[in-house]
Amino acid sequence: MSEPRRIVFLTGTRADFGKLKSLIEVVLDEPGFEAHIFATGMHMNSRYGRTVDEIQKCGYPNIYSYINHHDYDSMDSILAKTIEGFSGYVKELMPDLVVIHGDRVEALAGAIVGALNNILVAHVEGGEVSGTIDELVRHAVSKMSHVHFVANEIASKRLQQMGEKHESIFVIGSPDVDVMLSNRLPTLETVKEHYEIPFDKYGIVMFHPVTTEYDQVFDQAGNLVRALIESGKQFVVVYPNNDMGSEFILQRFKEFNNNPDFILFPSLRFEYFLVLLKHAEMIVGNSSAGIREAPYYGIPTVNIGTRQMNRSLLEQIVNTGYGKDEILQAIQQLSDVRMEPAQLFGEGKSDELFISALRDNRFWEIPKQKYFMDYRGAQA
């Protein structure tokens, strides 16, 4: 009997774990494959809820935890430490495939280690655009990866424009939609009870630092906080990611202390977050959740600033600058508004399409030696 193929899923944040979860579970259920999880980044940080505990509560086998940063580390330092830790890990495990997601430095580290150790690397949700350093990282990850599992045909064409082979690109949709459209989500009552959320009507706030606007983050967050307070609405506020500048946002969030209209969480369990989003009045901030997930539920978004620039032009999304008055005006504009659901990132079958690709022997014959493909010669 042949050895099972070992597949490592590298996850560094609550967000990318939500994207990878359905893919992990379908591999666990598939004979001939063995799933491993390398958990690092924000998962290991108590300040942000130590979400590696949530991964372990899922009951998955083969979870390896690695601390890759301290609060004072910059992104380049985190990248270097992740490369070092993941390199030692893969040399012992000798996986057949490394699966990474998105545009974080942990994903870049995974792609670098896999490519330089002649291990097949699969990138989930490449070929997308945004307005920050994240876009540079995402495209770099794509160029270091051998295989691409993308959300839609637009992303596929962008990757071909970047010189990637059509045969190495698989359109599977966004894997978190598998969870969003499943019947496995808890009830709203269960979620509110678990997190002790007293609001009948609420919005969600998720605001992350833009590293290229570091010097402005403190003022940007201050304008957001003032707009939220002046709106007179109630909000569930989730901490930012740990990018440079997050400390300024957390300082501003202290203005919510002792205000009964706001309840703050370092992190939320992915399925529980989806339920809260599904029943929210709106989502405010600059998280990709407002661009990708919220439209599936018909939830309007106040999208602030440049972080998600060029990612969507849906009518459900009102784009604003960082000024307090325009943020407040957008919040008021979207009060009591419900939109038609929009599905731009698949139909909730990403896991099926993912495992179907892995079952095909031709997948494992995708060459690790990459060649640039001229876009004009690529297939449509």
> 146 to each of 115, 127, 274, 375, how far by Cα in Å?
8, 13, 31, 17
Mean pLDDT of the chain: 94
Instruction: List Cβ<8 Å contacts ≥24 apart for 157-162.
Output: 157/127, 157/380, 158/127, 158/128, 158/129, 159/126, 159/127, 160/373, 160/375, 160/378, 160/379, 161/375, 161/378, 162/127
pLDDT at 378: 47
Residue 342's pLDDT band, with cuts at 50, 70 and 90, is confident
Question: Which tens digit of pLDDT belongs to each residue from 128-141?
Answer: 988 778 889 999 99
Count of CB atoms situated within 10 Å of the CB of 188: 14
pLDDT at 218: 98
pLDDT at 376: 67
pLDDT at 373: 92
Question: Residue 247, SS3?
Answer: helix
Query: Does residue 1 carry a pLDDT above 70?
Result: no
pLDDT at 72: 75
Query: Does residue 108 carry a pLDDT above 60?
Result: yes
- Give the rounded percent of residues in the chain with a pLDDT score beyond 70: 98
Question: Which tens digit of pLDDT belongs to each residue from 156-181?
Answer: 999 999 999 999 999 999 999 999 99
Question: Which tens digit of pLDDT belongs to each residue from 190-235?
Answer: 999 999 999 999 999 999 999 899 999 999 999 999 999 999 999 9
Q: Could you give all domains of the chain from N- to C-terminal order, each with its CATH number?
A: 5-181+347-377 (3.40.50.2000), 188-333 (3.40.50.2000)
pLDDT at 325: 98
d(CA 244, CA 128): 22
Question: Residue 376, SS3?
Answer: helix
Query: Does residue 313 carry a pLDDT above 80?
Result: no
The mean per-residue pLDDT over the stretch 113-131 comes to: 94
The pTM assigned to this predicted structure is 0.89
Most confident stretch, 47-56, 98-107, 368-377: 98-107
> 103 to each of 7, 30, 194, 218, 332, how far by Cα in Å?
20, 28, 31, 24, 32
pLDDT at 130: 80
Residue 15's pLDDT band, with cuts at 50, 70 and 90, is confident
Question: Which tens digit of pLDDT belongs to each residue from 50-91?
Answer: 999 999 999 999 999 999 988 778 889 999 999 999 999 999
The mean per-residue pLDDT over the stretch 31-54 comes to: 93
The answer to whether 227 and 329 have CB atoms below 8 angstroms apart is no
The mean per-residue pLDDT over the stretch 14-39 comes to: 96
The mean per-residue pLDDT over the stretch 302-307 comes to: 95
Residue 307, burial from CB neighbour count under 10 angstroms (0-12, 13-18, 19+): buried
